[in-house]
Structure 1
Amino acid sequence: MSTVTAAAGFHYPTRMAVIRLTNGDLVLWSPIALAADLRAAVEALGAVRYLVPPNSLHHTFLGDWQRAYPDAKVYAPPGLREKRKDIRFDGDFSDSPIAAWAGEIDLVIMWGNRITTDVVFFHHESGTVIFTDLIQQFPSGWFKGWRALIARLDLMVAGEPTVPRKFRIAFTSRRAARESLRSILAWPTRKVLIAHGLPITDDGQAFLRRAFHWLAN
Structure 2
Amino acid sequence: MSKCSHTYPPLNVLKPVADNVWIVDGPAIRFGFSWPKLSFPTRMTIVRLSNGALFVHSPTPLTEDLRAAVESLGPVSHIIGPNRIHYWWIPEWRAAFPQAEIWLAPNIREQAGKRIDFPANEFAVETGYAWDDEIETIIAPGSYMSEVDFFHKPSRTLVLTDLIENFEPKKVGPWPLHWLYRLGGVLDPHGSMPRDMRMTYRDNKPELRRAVERMIELEPERVILAHGRWYPSDGAGELKRAFSWLL
Q: TM-score, normalised by structure 2?
A: 0.81
Residue 16 in 1 paired to residue 40 in 2?
no
Q: Do the aligned partners of residues 191 and 68 (structure 1) sit closer, same or farther apart at CA in structure 2, a change above 3 Å counting?
A: same
User: How do residues 54-133 of structure 1 correspond to structure 2 at under 5 angstroms?
Assistant: 54-84=82-112, 85=114, 86-114=116-144, 116-133=145-162
Asked whether the equivalents of residues 169 and 178 of structure 2 are also in contact (C-alpha less than 8 Å), the reply is: no
Alignment root-mean-square deviation, CA:
1.8
1:140 equivalent to 2:169? Answer yes
Equivalent residue number for residue 233 of structure 2: 202
After the TM superposition, which of the residue ranges 166-175 and 51-60 deviates more from structure 2?
A: 166-175
Stretches (4+) displaced over 4 A: none
* Amino acid corresponding to residue 117 of structure 1 in structure 2: S
1:48 aligned partner: 76
1:155 aligns with 2:179: no
Post-superposition offset of 1:17: 0.7
> Would you say how many aligned residue pairs link Structure 1 and Structure 2?
215
Distance 2:200 2:111 in 1: 20
Among candidates 144, 166, 181, match of residue 196 of structure 2:
166
Name 2:9's counterpart in structure 1.
Answer: none
1:7 and 2:31 are equivalent in the alignment: yes
TM-score of the superposed pair, with normalisation by structure 1:
0.91
Unpaired segments ≥5 residues, structure 2: 1-23
Amino acid at match of 2:158: V
Q: Deviations over 1:1-43 (max 9, x none)?
A: 1112221322211110111000000011000011111111111
Partners of 1:83 and 1:44 lie apart in 2 by 33
**1:48–1:87 Cα change, 3 Å:** farther
Q: Within 1, Cα distance between the matches of 2:183 and 2:110?
A: 32
Q: CA deviation at 1:211?
A: 1.0
Q: Does 1:212 align with 2:228?
A: no
SS in structure 2 at match of 1:214: coil
TM-fit CA distance, 1:147: 4.0
The equivalent of 2:63 in structure 1 is 35
- 1:113–1:181: structure 2 CA closer, same or farther, 3 Å change rule? farther
Q: Secondary structure at the match of 1:202?
A: coil
- Structure 1: unaligned runs, 5 residues or longer: none
State the distance in 1 between where 2:128 and 2:177 align.
39
Are the counterparts in 2 of residues 135 and 211 from structure 1 also a CA contact under 8 Å?
yes
CA distance in 2, matches of 1:95, 1:202: 29
Deviation at 1:104, TM superposition (A): 0.5
Matches of 2:39 and 2:75, distance apart in 1: 31
For 1:144 and 1:118, how far apart are their aligned partners in 2?
28
Report the equivalent of 2:212.
181
**Taking every aligned residue pair, what percent have the same amino acid on both sides?**
32
Determine if contact 2:151/2:157 at 8 Å carries over to the other structure.
yes
Looking at structure 2, the residues matched to 159 and 99 of structure 1 have their Cα atoms a distance apart, in angstroms, of: 35
Write the distance in 2 (CA, Å) between the matches of 1:10 and 1:24: 38
Distance 2:187 2:128 in 1: 34
